[in-house]
Amino acid sequence: MAKLPIINVPDPMLKTLSDPVGQVDDDLRRLMDNMLETMYDAPGIGLAAIQVAVPKRVIVLDTEGDEETGRKPVFLVNPEITWESEEFSVYNEGCLSVPEHYAEVERPATVKVKYFDYHGQQHEELMEGLQATCVQHEIDHLNGVVFIDYLSKLKRNMIIKKVRKATKDAMIL
Q: Exposure string (b/e) for 65-104, b if CB count within 10 Å is 16 or more?
A: eeeeeeeebbbbbbbebeebeeeebebebbbbbbbebebe
Q: Could you say which of 80, 124, 125, 138 is catalytic? A: 138
CB of 91 within 8 A of CB of 109?
no
Q: Show the 3-state SS of 37-96.
A: HHHHHCCCCEEEHHHHCCCECEEEECCCCCCCCCCCCEEEEEEEEEEECCCEEEEEEEEC
104 in catalytic set? no
CB of 110 within 8 A of CB of 84?
yes
Q: Catalytic amino acids?
A: 138
